[in-house]
Amino acid sequence: MASGGPVVNGDLSRSPGPSCQGEETLQQMHILIQENRELKEALRQTNTSMKERFEDLSAWREKQRQERHFLESRLEEARGRVEELTLQNQELGSRREGRAGGPPAASLAAASNQSRAELDALRAQVTRLQAEKNDLRARRPDLSMTASRLESEEMTVSQLLQSLRNETQRAERLQAELRSSAARIRELEERKAGVEETTQTPPAETKEDSGKGEKAASEVESLKSQTTTLCKELQKAQSELDQAEGVKKNLQDRCREVEQDVVTLRAQLGEKQAVQTENDRLKLQLKDAYTKLYEDYNELLEEKKKRESVLVQNAAVGDLQDRLSAAEEALAAKQQHIDHMKQEMFSKEEELQTISLEYVKKQNGQLQEELESLGRHSLTEMQKRHVSLGGNQHGGSLVGRGTSWQHQGNIPEHACPKCDEILPDLDSLQIHIMDCIN
């Protein structure tokens, strides 16, 4: 009896402590569960937002890749056009150098300078496109690193969500255990109240009640140990939730950084779009300039052909005029030579008055024929050397005269008409004729 009473009284004096501690534990559990739900919802929203941003970034990367391929193709096309224009410019320069100076050469030189200036502008545009291409290639590793970093962060968030799910399940299990413990504590409190009412019963029943009180005290101690264990687990869960809260803050900071990166990337994307628009405008200008340059080149080529044909005709006319002048001069010289021979013939006739008239007439006729044959031969030779290609009046008259002389036979060059002796040159022939006549 004496041993059972203090145990019951001591248990009753400590009974309010576990009840208050259980209610406080339940409140903490409710708070932790609510915070856990909020943290899970925040992480879910963060994960969804990061997935959307990752998809936007992937779409932006694909668009940048397509734009880069488009710029590369346009750059190759511009290079081909520049090379073609360079070859055309070199061909024009070689043709201009091969032709003599003058107004056509000056105009072609001006056109070549204009073409060279346009080619320099095209080269500058190609250089700028190459610089933009190199810039895109330089930014490609940064974009790849950003994408891999977002993928790793997405994996980390997934792992954190899984750990939070596990912690939530554990917290729910602990909450169920705490509820069962609280129900058990209330049941024990009711039993303690019943034991307290029976403390005034007769001594015959005290031994039985003291046994019940000892049993209740042992159960209370067991519940206290369970409550202590649950409190430790709650503290551990609280520390893990604190760690998760720290990770959440880090993720929020990281999300803000990613948002800043996204804003920066969007600004850069806007700049790239502006550059792309400018490139499109420059491409149109380049196409127009190329078309205009090609048309100018065709016009210059046609003009060059016309001027070359005019120059060829002028050169041919000048050559014909020179040949005609030379033929006229040679004809005048031959005529002077014939007049001189006639004068000599007259002088010889005066000196040979002792010769009979018939012989003189015969010799005179022979000399006249020789002179005419010599003149015909000289004119025929001149006609052969100075034949005219155009329809010149003097040339036509000479040709007419030459064709009328050609029907009289082929006379040898430098041959004496009297003795048919062939001499080496005209002077020797003249001296021989005088000697032969005498």
List, for residues 283-311, the tens digit of each pLDDT value: 787 778 778 878 888 888 888 888 888 88
Q: Does residue 332 form part of some domain?
A: no
| Same domain membership, residue 256 and residue 164 | yes
Q: Does residue 347 form part of some domain?
A: no
Is residue 224 pLDDT above 80, yes or no?
Answer: no
Long-range contacts: 341-348, Cβ < 8 Å, 24+? Answer: 341/371, 341/430, 342/371, 344/434, 345/371, 348/434, 348/437, 348/438
Question: How far is residue 62's CA from residue 56's CA, in Å, rounded to a whole number?
Answer: 10
| Same domain membership, residue 363 and residue 265 | no
The count of structural domains within the chain is 2
Sign of the CA dihedral with 265 first, then 271, 273, and 275 last: negative
Other Cβ atoms within 10 Å of 287 Cβ, number: 13
Q: Does residue 329 form part of some domain?
A: no
| Same domain membership, residue 100 and residue 160 | yes
Is residue 366 pLDDT above 80, yes or no?
Answer: yes
Higher pLDDT, 373 or 47: 373
- Beta carbons of 219 and 13 less than 8 angstroms apart: no
Token pair of 143 as six digits? 């974009």
End-to-end CA distance of the chain: give it in Å, rounded: 201
Mark which of 296, 315, 334 sits at the end of a domain.
Answer: 315
Mark which of 259, 286, 315 sits at the end of a domain.
Answer: 315
Q: Does residue 341 form part of some domain?
A: no
| Same domain membership, residue 122 and residue 193 | yes
Q: Does residue 70 form part of some domain?
A: yes
| Same domain membership, residue 361 and residue 240 | no
| Same domain membership, residue 403 and residue 282 | no
Mark which of 315, 334, 360 sits at the end of a domain.
Answer: 315
- Beta carbons of 376 and 405 less than 8 angstroms apart: yes
CATH number at residue 173: 1.20.1270
Q: Where does residue 351 rank: exposed (0-12), middle (13-18), buried (19+ CB within 10 A)?
A: exposed
Bridge partners, 422 (sequence order): 415
The percentage of residues in the chain with a pLDDT greater than 70, rounded to a whole number, is 68
Question: How far is residue 267's CA from residue 262's CA, in Å, rounded to a whole number?
Answer: 8
| Same domain membership, residue 37 and residue 91 | yes
| Same domain membership, residue 380 and residue 259 | no
pLDDT of residue 12: 37
The helix (H) or strand (E) run that includes residue 423 is: none
- The stretch 95-100 carries a mean pLDDT of 63
Other Cβ atoms within 10 Å of 140 Cβ, number: 14
| Same domain membership, residue 80 and residue 19 | yes
Q: Does residue 244 form part of some domain?
A: yes
Bridge partners, 415 (sequence order): 422
| Same domain membership, residue 241 and residue 366 | no
Token pair of 66 as six digits? 């397509």
Which of 139-148, 154-163, 307-316 has maximum average pLDDT? Answer: 307-316
Q: Does residue 333 form part of some domain?
A: no
Confidence of residue 115 (pLDDT cuts 50, 70, 90): low
- Beta carbons of 15 and 220 less than 8 angstroms apart: yes
Is residue 428 pLDDT above 50, yes or no?
Answer: yes
Is this structure's pTM higher than 0.75?
no
| Same domain membership, residue 357 and residue 300 | no
Which residue range is the domain that position 239 belongs to? Answer: 4-315
Question: How far is residue 150's CA from residue 131's CA, in Å, rounded to a whole number?
Answer: 29
Question: How far is residue 18's CA from residue 225's CA, in Å, rounded to a whole number?
Answer: 10
pLDDT of residue 392: 42
Cβ-Cβ contacts under 8 Å for 171 (sequence gap 6 or more): 29, 32, 33, 36, 237
Q: Does residue 43 form part of some domain?
A: yes
| Same domain membership, residue 288 and residue 425 | no
Residue among 378, 372, 375, 371 at smallest CA distance from 345? 371
Is residue 437 pLDDT above 80, yes or no?
Answer: no
